Every structure is written in C-alpha cells, then in structure tokens.
Structure 1
C-alpha cells in the first residue's frame, strides 16, 4: 500500500466511524509518506492500522525498515522537506516508534477524540 491509498482508506474509515477527516487524515498522510519515502522497501510496502476507543484515535503505520528509526529533527529554514514529524508532534497527543517484528517498525500517533 502506498501513502495516497493509506490516506484514502483512512478517510473512508473515519467517515464510517463518524469522525472528522482532519487532522487525523493529515497524520495518516504524513506517517504513510514517511514510511513510503524513508522506511519501506517498495516491494514490501507499508501497513496502516486505525483503532478507536471511547477517548482515543490510534494510527499505526508499519514498514519493513526497522534499521531506520525516525526522529523529529529541525530542518534548515530553506529545506524543502523534513518537517513531517514536526507536524505529527504538533497534531498528535502522543507519538512514538516500536521496533519489530523484524525487520520492521511501527510508528504510531494518538489523538484524543475530544480534540477532533
């Protein structure tokens, strides 16, 4: 699955749950784009998982490159990329990375439903 398809599928699921599309769809797009660009072997693709409880929306994007862990750095002011995880930090209540299962990793972001 690619980043564009991940966002489209997430939007369908969010609608089915009666949740607003943004900012959750934007988080999916950023996490999936990072996985597609930096994390995954293109043949392996990525995996999207969405979950909702009474209070929280959880977004998980898994890829096959556990040896490349993401980090939110500060790009140069004139850089044309490198701000995706800064956006995730700003929009998500919490986010993090879980290694495995080998050879992959999962990047997750959680949002409080009251914030949507």
Structure 2
C-alpha cells in the first residue's frame, strides 16, 4: 500500500481578478402570505452551504468554512422564506482585498430584514442574530442594501490567514 502524498503548503492564494468564488442564481415561486416554500426551493440551502465550503476549501480558506456555511445557510434560507414575491435569489461569495464578502439578494423583497430579539420560546427570528454573532466574532460586519424592489443582505469577514 502506497502512503498518501504529503499535503502541499499553500504558498499564495490565486483568486480570479474579480475575486468571485461563487456566483449562483436560482428562481423561486411567488407564494401567498403564510404559504411555506416548496421542498425543492429549501433544498437550495444545504446546496449553497456545500458549494461555499467547497470553494473555501479549494482556495485554502478551510478555517472559515464552518462559519461561512452557517452565514450562507441563514441568508439563503431567509431569502427563500421571506421573499414571497419571487422570482430570483442571487448568492455570491467573493474576495475583496483581505476580506471575504458573502452576499445573498432577492430581486423582489417582501420587506427589509431586521435584527430581532426573539423570546426564549420563539421558533424563528434568530438567523440574523447568528450572522451578527459570527461577523462580530470574526472582526467583520454585516448589513442590508435595498435598491428598487430588491434587497441584499451581506456579511464582510476578514480572510483567515490572508497574506499581509
């Protein structure tokens, strides 16, 4: 049995000139108030988490993977659940300087996302708290941009181990 090859050290990271690691768009159906998204739409949440983790692993940013996967999962889930008007959700992961930007937007929003303080028995309302905690814990920040009918929620995190 041949021993596995030793892992090669990461000498420097090479990103696309525009810094984009992940740029996905998918459609969601318009729904009535109180109607939950279909299973196929919600399946995008773990799919986008896996895609983000794979891209971070590929670019040598594995230490960020768990936190970024949580942020992506919360933002994609919120976009699907709270954008009842459809039709498009965009997910982007990009490097800008020494920062990693996670952005999830909808082309038509049903409202502007807000940070809530749910009660101890509340079943919902903790997603943006989680994003806020990850951003603060990593020395980053998050926010909401609204333009026209669309809304984008973003999270800006310092790159782990980024060269100085």
Q: Which category of TM-score, normalised to the shorter sequence, fits these structures?
A: 0.7 to 0.9
Q: Provide the TM-score with structure 1 as the length reference.
A: 0.86
Distance 2:129 2:49 in 1: 19
> Is the contact between residue 61 and residue 160 of structure 2 (CA under 8 Å) also seen in structure 1?
no
Partner residue in 1 for 2:156:
110
2:48 alignment counterpart:
6
Q: Cα RMSD between the aligned structures?
A: 2.0
1:36 equivalent among 80, 88, 110:
80
Q: CA deviation at 1:75?
A: 0.5
Alignment partners' CA distance in 1, 2:45 and 2:123: 19
Query: Which residue of the other structure, out of 106, 121, 133, is the alignment partner of 1:78?
Result: 121
Paired with 1:46 and 1:70, the residues of 2 have a C-alpha distance of 15
Task: Identify if the C-alpha distance between structure 1 residues 83 and 109 changes in structure 2 by more than 3 Å, giving closer, same or farther.
Answer: same
Q: How does 1:10-89 map to 2 (within 5 A)?
A: 10-20=52-62, 21-42=65-86, 44-89=87-132
Deviation at 1:67, TM superposition (A): 4.5
Distance 1:108 1:40, change over 3 A: farther
Larger RCO: 1 or 2 (CA < 8 Å, sep 6+): 1
Q: Which runs of 5+ in 1 are unaligned?
A: none
Asked which structure has the greater CA Rg, the reply is 2
State the Cα distance separating 1:40 from its structure 2 match: 4.9
Which runs of 4 or more aligned residues in structure 1 lie more than 6 Å from their structure 2 counterparts after TM superposition? none
Q: Which runs of 5+ in 2 are unaligned?
A: 1-25, 27-43
Distance in 1 between residues matched to 2:145 and 2:109, nearest whole Å: 9
